[in-house]
Amino acid sequence: MKKLLALSIVAAFLLITSCGEEVALTAPENFTISAGTDEVSVVLAWSENPSDEEVDGYYIYFNDAIADSTENTTYTHDDPQETGIYYVTAYRGEDESAASDELSTEPVIATGVQLYEIGVPNEESGYGWNTSTGQGAIYSMATAANASSIDLYFTNFATGYAGTYNIASPDEVLNDAGASWLQGTTGWKETGFAELTADFDDVTVLPTTGYFNFEEIAVNTTYGVYTEDGHYAMVEVQSISTSSGLVQVRTAFQTVEGLAILEH
């Protein structure tokens, strides 16, 4: 009887260990997104899950739907023409891990931005974006103190603030007859502008070439922007007042460096 009991315990132990659960799947880590070399594709990358998880592959999610799967740890979303939220999961058979961090390609929109022609006294005409958050801010151009933060300004390239206005690269202040107090200063960024044919809300992908140091502006026209930091953005001119020098705009900024998709 004693021997039978011992045998039963050993048998039970073997049964339990042989039926042990598989290692649980963990969410993929170190998830990143970046622009492809064509500037219209999105490249996703993450770290491989631990080998003891024996994953079969990874699901690619785009806007909460499975866009594709892969056995690799990188994936290129070719020319999606739209922006959205990406994340990946690991899978093994029917099992699926929790999601990785979520990352977005949606542009950051700012409305009701009020800027002034650079010749208007005591008003601010510089505007620049935080490349991490995508938030824009208005800056004074009274001195060169804000030069490293400014991505664009408005000017008539003459003294006073009459005439036609231009959206211009900050480093053009050195050639601007209406910004005489900034002559000889340094640190200004170089930005490019391209007039678009599409309306602000209809833009999907910005052109990747054809950006100039300034563009003459018109109301209800949208301009593509390429910053010195390598980010794409766009500016819609909503109103211009040459009597007050006020230019009202709304903007969109792509936080993914080098990605020209601005669909929103």
Partner 1 sequence: MRNLGILLIAIIALMVIGCQPPEGMGGVTQEQFDELKGNVETMKTDVENLHMALDSLTTIYNGHIEKWHKGGAIAPTPPAPSKPTREKVK
Residue 22 vs 190, nearer CB to partner 1:
190
By the rule CB under 8 A, 170 interacts with partner 1: no
Backbone angles phi, psi at 12, to 5 degrees: -65, -40
Residue 13 vs 212, nearer CB to partner 1:
212
d(CA 163, CA 141): 20
Give least dist CB 222 to partner 1, A. 17
Give least dist CB 183 to partner 1, A. 13
Residue 49 vs 191, nearer CB to partner 1:
191
With residue 60 as reference, give the H or E element that holds it: strand 57-62
Q: Detail the DSSP E strand segments found in 71-220.
A: 74-77, 85-92, 95-96, 103-104, 108-116, 126-129, 136-139, 152-155, 166-168, 192-195, 214-216
Residue 24 vs 177, nearer CB to partner 1:
177
d(CA 192, CA 27): 40
d(CA 131, CA 147): 15
Which x/- pattern, by CB under 8 A, does the window 171-200 give for partner 1? -x--xxx------------xxxx-------
Q: Which amino acid makes up residue 168? A: A
Residues within window 219-248 making contact with partner 1, judged by CB under 8 A: 226
Does residue 254 contact residue 261 with C-beta atoms inside 8 Å?
yes
Residue 83 vs 169, nearer CB to partner 1:
169
By the rule CB under 8 A, 209 interacts with partner 1: yes
SS (H, E, C) 155-222: ECCCCCCCCCCEEECHHHHHHCCCCHHHCCCCCCCCCEEEECCCCHHHCCECCCCCCECEEECCCCEE
Give least dist CB 255 to partner 1, A. 19
Give least dist CB 158 to partner 1, A. 3
By the rule CB under 8 A, 211 interacts with partner 1: yes
Among 45, 99, 144, 158, binds partner 1 (CB under 8 A): 158
How many positions of this chain bind partner 1 (CB under 8 A)?
A: 22
Give least dist CB 141 to partner 1, A. 16
Q: Which residues bind partner 1 (CB under 8 A)?
A: 156-158, 163, 166, 169, 172, 175-177, 190-193, 208-214, 226
